Amino acid sequence: MAGRTPIERHVQVAGFDCAYWEWPGEGTPVLIVHGIGLHGRTWDRVIEELPPSTHVIAPDLRGHGRSEVPPVRNEHLWWGGLGHDLAALLRAIALPPALGVGHSMGGHAMIFAAADAPEHFASLLLFEPNIGDPERARIPEPLEADAGVARRRNDWASPDEMFERFAGRPPFNAWDPAVLRAYCDYGLVPEGDRFRLACPPALEATIWGGQSPGLYDAIDAIDVPVHLVRAEPRAPGQPEGFTPSQTWPGVVDYFHHGTEELLSGRGHFFALETAPLAAALIETALARLSR
């Protein structure tokens, strides 16, 4: 699939302009969704590893990438709400039943999308979907609008400057360089002769901690196969910058058709660090659907 260029498309859903990237193809579509502060093009390197006939849709969630940025309010932008946005997108484009692939917040939001629009999902593949235990998930986390993420640098000379700065900092220094390159190239928008983050820091701060109450109700509503891929918890001797699993180990038992696997020695960002691994997991999930 090297050199295959996606088509940028836009559609009005849930009252905002939603951008998504499409790699046309055939067979079961792959809907692949990014985490906080990222965008659909961070999946380019993974998609490059898939067979060239694979049909892929990679949205930019509300407030990310090329999608419309909502007003920043002193309240959470809930991940469940982003999932409902996804459901609205799938209905708007009439996507056939897809393999839903989501990482981190994207996987969490995918659960709400699958509960809301079950007719558009054949199966789910969730990479580290940031799910707490049922008690923790029931209680909304407090908003920390002045958290460190709100003070992220938001003025850049170019994507090159951002890439060079991030390439030596964890967790970005462990990412596949092509993933980091795409994050910088499509994660900035021009402003005069400078650039700013497509997902503004003040908005990103309202997304952190936005795991939605009602998550386990959404999990209970899903009746398609769900495969969870978890990273390891922090262990003695892990290198500096290692980001441990953010997903509660017991969650698989709450899905009606849940399976899981643990990636030895891998952290929360494994899909951004090793594109061939992420692509292989997607291909295996597609193969399961064809049996």
Residues 200-236: pLDDT tens digits?
999 999 999 878 789 999 999 999 999 999 999 877 7
| Amino acid at the residue 24 | P
| Backbone dihedral angles phi then psi of residue 204, each to the nearest 5 degrees | -60, -35
CB count in 10 Å sphere of residue 151: 11
Q: Which two tokens stand for residue 117?
A: 């629009």
Q: Which two tokens stand for residue 184?
A: 């910088």
Q: Which two tokens stand for residue 284?
A: 């295996």
- The closest alpha carbon to 260, from 231, 223, 234, 224, belongs to 231
| Backbone dihedral angles phi then psi of residue 100, each to the nearest 5 degrees | -90, 115
Angstrom distance (rounded) from CA 95 to CA 33: 15
Q: What whole-number percentage of the chain has pLDDT above 70?
A: 98
Pick the range with the lowest mean pLDDT from 117-121, 175-179, 194-198, 246-250.
Answer: 246-250
- Three-state DSSP state, 255: coil
Q: Which two tokens stand for residue 191?
A: 């402003």
Token pair 């938001």: residue: 154
CATH class given for the domain over 7-145+211-290: alpha beta
Domain segments of the chain: what residues? 7-145+211-290
Average pLDDT, integer, range 19-25: 98
H or E element that contains 226:
strand 226-230
The burial of 91, by beta-carbon neighbours within 10 Å (0-12 exposed, 13-18 middle, 19 or more buried), is given as: middle
pLDDT in tens, 97-156: 999 999 999 999 999 999 999 999 999 999 999 999 998 888 888 887 667 889 999 999
For strands 26-33 and 188-191, give the pairing: unpaired
Average pLDDT, integer, range 246-265: 96
H or E element that contains 18:
strand 16-23
Has residue 2 got a pLDDT over 60? Answer: no
pLDDT of residue 234: 77
* 129 close to 229: Cβ distance less than 8 angstroms: no
pLDDT of residue 145: 67
- The closest alpha carbon to 285, from 272, 271, 266, 273, belongs to 271
Has residue 1 got a pLDDT over 50? Answer: no
**Helix 105-116 vs helix 79-93: crossing angle, to nearest 10:** 60
Angstrom distance (rounded) from CA 127 to CA 277: 11
- The closest alpha carbon to 263, from 237, 288, 230, 233, belongs to 230
